[in-house]
């Protein structure tokens, strides 16, 4: 019976350590991708900025502060593009934000408010293009 307890404790410890390592790795990679988005924004490289922020959201981990910051940055890129009358880039930013949250949906679907906001902006921009 003592041997079974030891095995169970070891298995539980290994499982916990694995989860912590996986979560930590995902957080680190989120941060790296967010920084790529920041560098793209700072240098005016729109595709790099979108790709960095989008990739950070794709590495969703509960409790991460990077995901909401990345979502806001993508939204801001879309808003700036709209202000500059660049509908194509605005659509790229909004669609990247929306699809990022669709990509991480599972048992729990985070980012529903972002998806709804993006759907509204995308519909309005597509309707404008149709005129």
Domains of the chain: 2-129 (1.25.40)
Between CA 68 and CA 74 the distance in angstroms is 10
Q: What is the pLDDT of residues 42-68, one digit of tens each?
A: 999 999 999 999 999 999 988 899 999
Q: What is the pLDDT of residues 83-120, one digit of tens each?
A: 999 999 999 999 999 999 999 988 889 999 999 999 99
Q: Report in angstroms the alpha-carbon separations of 53 from 22, 35, 56.
A: 20, 8, 5
């Amino acid at each position: 019976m003592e041997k079974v307890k030891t095995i169970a404790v070891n298995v539980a410890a290994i499982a916990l350590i694995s989860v912590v390592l996986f979560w930590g790795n995902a957080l680190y990679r989120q941060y790296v991708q967010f920084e790529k988005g920041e560098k793209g924004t700072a240098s005016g490289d729109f595709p790099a900025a979108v790709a960095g922020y989008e990739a950070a959201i794709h590495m969703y981990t509960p409790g991460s502060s990077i995901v909401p910051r990345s979502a806001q940055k993508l939204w801001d890129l879309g808003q700036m593009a709209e202000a500059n009358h660049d509908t194509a880039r605005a659509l790229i930013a909004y669609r990247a934000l929306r699809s990022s949250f669709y990509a991480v949906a599972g048992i729990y679907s985070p980012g529903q408010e972002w998806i709804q906001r993006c759907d509204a902006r995308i519909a309005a921009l597509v309707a404008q293009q149709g005129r």
